[in-house]
Amino acid sequence: MTQGKDLTVILAAPRGFCAGVQRAISIVETTLEKYGAPVYVRHEIVHNKFVVDSLRAKGAIFVKELDEVPSGAHVVFSAHGVPKVIPQAAIAANLDFLDATCPLVSKVHREVEQHHAAGRTVLLVGHRGHPEVIGTMGQVPEGSVILIETDDDARTVVIEDPENLAYATQTTLSVDEVKDILAILKARFPHIQGPRKEDICYATTNRQAAVKAIAAQADAIIIIGAPNSSNSNRLVEAALAAGCPKATLCQRATDIDWAWLESVNRLGVSAGASAPEVLVEELINTLQQRFNVTLQEVKVIDEDVVFHIPAKLRKA
């Protein structure tokens, strides 16, 4: 039963799961169906507690490192990608592994390898400690990639051979943030080589565009996503940068700060690429219990990207 004031909820679209996340989750689920529990997963398959808990309930066991996995077991690598030493270690430990790395992250891996093979130093624009960055830097020998996190890094980085230089980017960054950093690098190093097609993934770009499209219409925006989800945090930043007075990250409806919503009449809602739509529905249902909710949706683009699971699982 609705009560209280009227609240317009503006849903950004697209939102939630991207093709890479859907593929990674399907790999774990299909591996469980084919081989039975347990199936081990190195690190969180995607950065979302609800998803991880759901897979754990089906028989997935999440581990930090491969030495926690018994010999002969089935193990899945997360969507964020892993350094080359991880598959090598899995083979040495007699583990049957499946790689759930997002194909768009794998694209960045191959770019970095190709630049290294051509004798170029690679500048990787990304966030230190993020699993995707660790995996990308781990495709080539240590010291071959220099991490660029900020504008200041771009302004001060010292390159021994600026004629043999390339860049790549983490796939889940803010489009605007990367644009500024790349502008600095290209001004300093006119011969720097980049990808033929930008590294920031379509889903990150589309979700940021959708949030920007609703920012000016909303008194506040809630982004459903995990605190350790890069693309979800970037959506909060995009909302604020596009003019929304306030925006916050919320893992699920139970985490809502109701005092934060007191002066809000028009609430924007989106979800990071690793957040399932069921959590958006949960949020709306919870809001409907307190407010007279009117729903609107603002769609900036239709998405039809699909990434298939590995062939040996499709045969199941």
* pLDDT beyond 60 at 227: yes
Are residues 73 and 114 both part of a single domain?
no
Write out the catalytic residue numbers: 132
Average pLDDT over residues 87-110: 98
Tens-place pLDDT, residues 135-171: 999 999 999 999 999 999 999 999 999 999 999 999 9
Average pLDDT over residues 217-241: 97
Residue 121: strand pairing partners? 165
Question: Which pLDDT belongs to residue 3?
Answer: 61
Edge-to-edge strand ranges of the sheet holding 96-99: 60-63, 39-42, 74-77, 96-99
Tens-place pLDDT, residues 30-61: 999 999 999 999 999 999 999 999 999 999 99
Question: With the CA atoms of 170, 171, 174 and 178 taken in that order, what torsion angle do they form, in degrees rounded to the nearest 10?
Answer: 50
From 110-114, 138-142, 177-181, 283-287, the region with the lowest mean pLDDT: 177-181
Q: What is the pTM of this model?
A: 0.94
Among the three residues 188, 216, 231, which one is the final residue of a domain in this structure? 188
Residue 40: strand pairing partners? 61, 75
Query: What type of residue sits at position 12?
Result: A
Tell me the C-alpha distance between 166 and 236, whole Å: 30
Q: What SS3 state is found at 165?
A: strand
Are residues 217 and 295 both part of a single domain?
yes
Are residues 283 and 208 both part of a single domain?
yes
Among the three residues 102, 119, 142, which one is the final residue of a domain in this structure? 102
Tens-place pLDDT, residues 262-271: 999 999 999 9
Residue 304 belongs to some domain of the structure: no
- What is the total count of domains within the chain? 3
Are residues 97 and 108 both part of a single domain?
no
* pLDDT beyond 70 at 107: yes
Average pLDDT over residues 294-305: 97
* pLDDT beyond 90 at 2: no
The candidate with the shortest Cα–Cα distance to 226, out of 25, 53, 9, is 53
Among the three residues 102, 121, 149, which one is the final residue of a domain in this structure? 102
Q: Are 135 and 83 in contact (CB under 8 A)?
A: yes
Domain residue limits at 84: 19-102
* pLDDT beyond 80 at 315: no
Q: Which two tokens stand for residue 273?
A: 């690429």
What phi, psi does 278 have (nearest 5°)?
Answer: -60, -30
**CATH code of the domain containing 272:** 3.40.1010.20
To the nearest whole percent, how much of the chain has pLDDT over 70? Answer: 98
* pLDDT beyond 90 at 196: no
* pLDDT beyond 60 at 287: yes
Instruction: Place 198 in a pLDDT band, splitting at 50, 70 and 90.
Output: confident
Tell me the C-alpha distance between 98 and 95, whole Å: 10
Are residues 140 and 211 both part of a single domain?
no
Residue 1 belongs to some domain of the structure: no
Question: Which pLDDT belongs to residue 214?
Answer: 98
Question: Which pLDDT belongs to residue 50?
Answer: 97
Residue 110 belongs to some domain of the structure: yes
How far lies 130's CA from each of 40, 72, 87, 139, 306, in Å? 21, 29, 19, 15, 25
* pLDDT beyond 60 at 1: no
